[in-house]
Each structure stands twice: as structure tokens, then as C-alpha cells.
Amino acid sequence: MKVVLLLAVLCVVQCTTLASPLSTPLFLGDQLGFRAKRNSRVIEECMLVGLDEGTYFYKSRGTGDVCGVFLASQPDQVVHVTFDFVDVDCEAEGLVSFVDGWELNGAVFPSEEDFPLEGRFHEFCGKLKKKVFISSQNAAVIQYRVPKRGDGFKITVKFVKNPKPCNILVDDVSGVYTLRNHGKRVNCSITTIFPASVSLLQLSVGAVGRVPNRAFETGVLYRCEKRGVSDYVQIGGGMTLDSSQITVEDSLCGLDSNPRVRTSHILCGMTTVRLVSSGLSHNSATVAIQQLSDLDITPTLMCDVPL
């Protein structure tokens, strides 16, 4: 499958230097130049993050590198991408793809375990007009290899309201977020691309019924996954986008409208809050997330930076 090769080449071409001992940053946002690229419209960098709606143009200089435009919207939005035109020579091994989610260094957000890869990758080449794609969450990637000089594409990006967000990629340094399964058997996650502190503000996970009675609050229960409980929240972190591969600090469940638990300080490249749901109950968890920038704070979980 061509797209698998495209993803692999993207990592080989762009990520070898990112993973070198002297250049590996703890912040994934630093890898991508996250803050420097907010207002770009003409695609000039090989790895560009777009946080704004608008039109993006790309014209090849004939390098043939495999590159990507990483798109991210607000948590309660999805990414709507229209390819206004594509002129990419297939015979020159040119290729463009739309990825539902983010992919970097071989890892995908949302993870394959939580959101199957089937139907999330769309690839094409030649001369095309008006191809439309919509992501399932607030993140998407345009990956491309355009070896022929002068070839290129134009895309229009819009952010559309998502009434039931499940997976959320966070670019803001702080915020309050709620994960819900809406009574479905589905796993949802919040992933930041920076080390973060996570404070639990509300928990209703594993409680039976649509409107749990506050009189039956259980409080916060710990190590729920090890207890064999099928519904729980994991808090942890890792050095990749794959939320199913995080190092878990703890798994929580129970019913508590005002939990008084310690704040988790996750010193990892990514911080993740993952809600695992069996579909037997309506689960929700609200957390406050803030970028971990105070070096005097003692981490409750620390990840090894890969060499």
C-alpha cells in the first residue's frame, strides 16, 4: 500500500535528525515548529502546522521530499479539507494523501487500538479537482511527495463544529476538557504535545444510568484496570502520539462530583488522559490541563527521552 511507504519515508526523511541525541526536544511542538507557523498560507517548510482556517498553496521546487501539513482545530471541531486542485505527476512517483488524525515517527493519533486505521488514509495523484475530506477529530495531516518541479496543490481548510468530540489533540498550554463516551463502547483520549499537569475536576466512570444519583457517590477508586473494572480513566504520558502505548501513572474510576486527588505532573513529550468505556454506562471525566513548565515541580511520572 503506497500510503504505508509514504508514512515510513516521512519518518526517515524528516525524523532522523529530530531523533538525534543532540536535537531531540522534550516538546513535540518544538519538533514541528508549532508556534512559529500559525499564520502561514504558502507552504514552504517541509513540516508545517496549520492552526488557522484558510487557503494553503504548495508548488514543488523539484526536491521530491516527503512532507506534511499538520492541521489542528479547537477541541470541539473537526477539520474540513477541500482539495481545490491537485496537479501531481503519478509517473514521477508523486503522491498526496489525507490522513484522518496525526502521524509522526510511525505513531498515529488517535491510536490504531482506539480508532482503526481502515478508511483513515486517502491517497491520490494526477490532475484532480474538488476532493473533500473531513476528519473524525480536531486533527488531520496532508502528506505529500511532489518530485516534479512546478507541480503542486491548493487546499481550503475549514473548522466545523463537532457536537460529540471523542479524541482531542491539545495545542493550548492550558484548558479544561471533558471526555464522554455518550453510552457507547468507545475509547476517547486527550493528548497534549507537551509535558503537562493534569487535575481531575469531575469523575463519573463506571456509574450505571444516564443521571447518576449523587447520594451514591463512590468517590475516586484507584487501580481500576488491575481490579478488572471495564470502565476507567488512564492518566499517563509517553514520547509518541500513540495513546495506547503510554506509561500509565494510574487508572481511576468511580463517581465523584468534586474529587480531591493529587495533581499528576507528567514529564513526558506527550501527556494523555484516556477514557476506556465498555458501553455499559455513560462515562465522563473532566480535567484541567496546564503545560508543565516549572522545573521546581516534582514529576509524578517521568519518561526517558530517546537517544
Q: Provide the pLDDT for residue 55.
A: 93
List, in order, residues 6 or more apart from 91 with CB less than 8 Å away: none
For the chain, what percent of residues have pLDDT higher than 90? 62
Least Cα distance to 94 among 139, 133, 127, 130 occurs for: 127
Region 251-263: what's the mean pLDDT?
Answer: 92
Provide the mean pLDDT of the chain: 84
List, in order, residues 6 or more apart from 42 with CB less than 8 Å away: 56, 57, 58
Region 159-187: what's the mean pLDDT?
Answer: 92
What DSSP letter does each residue of 161-218 carry, written as one string? E-SS--SEEE-SSEEEEEEE-TTSS-EEEEEESS-EEEEEEEEEES--SSS--GGG--
CATH number attached to the domain at 172-302: 2.60.120.290
pTM: 0.82
Q: Collapsing DSSP states into helix, strand and coil, what is residue 44? A: coil
Taking the CA atoms of residue 275, residue 99, residue 70 and residue 44 in that order, the dihedral angle to the nearest 10 degrees is 170
Q: Provide the pLDDT for residue 159.
A: 96
Residue 296 has pLDDT above 80, yes or no: no
Cα 176–281–77 angle (5° rounding)?
A: 40
Q: Provide the pLDDT for residue 260.
A: 86
Residue 34 has pLDDT above 50, yes or no: no
Domains 2-161 and 172-302 alike in fold: yes
Sketch the domain layout of the chain as residue ranges: 2-161, 172-302
Residue 33 has pLDDT above 60, yes or no: no
Region 180-189: what's the mean pLDDT?
Answer: 94
Position 3 confidence tier, pLDDT thresholds 50, 70, 90: very low
Residue 2 has pLDDT above 70, yes or no: no
Burial class (CB in 10 A: 0-12, 13-18, 19+), 22: exposed
**What's the gap between Cα 167 and its chain centre?**
7
Place of cell 522545573: 295
Peptide bond just before 25 cis, omega within 30 deg: no
- pLDDT tens for 190-244 read 999 899 999 999 999 987 644 545 447 889 999 998 888 999 999 999 998 888 8
How would CATH label the architecture of 2-161? Sandwich (2.60)
Residue 136 has pLDDT above 50, yes or no: yes
Q: Provide the pLDDT for residue 1.
A: 38
Q: Provide the pLDDT for residue 8.
A: 35
List, in order, residues 6 or more apart from 100 with CB less than 8 Å away: 119, 120, 121, 133, 135, 136, 137, 140
Q: Provide the pLDDT for residue 195.
A: 93
Q: Which residues of 195-204 are buried (b: 16+ CB within 10 A; e: fewer)?
A: bbbbebeebb
Position 101 confidence tier, pLDDT thresholds 50, 70, 90: very high
Provide Rg for the chain, Cα atoms: 20
Q: Provide the pLDDT for residue 173.
A: 78
**What's the gap between Cα 158 and its chain centre?**
18
- Cell matching residue 25: 526536544
Cα–Cα dist 24/15, whole Å = 10
- pLDDT tens for 70-95 read 999 999 999 999 999 999 999 999 99
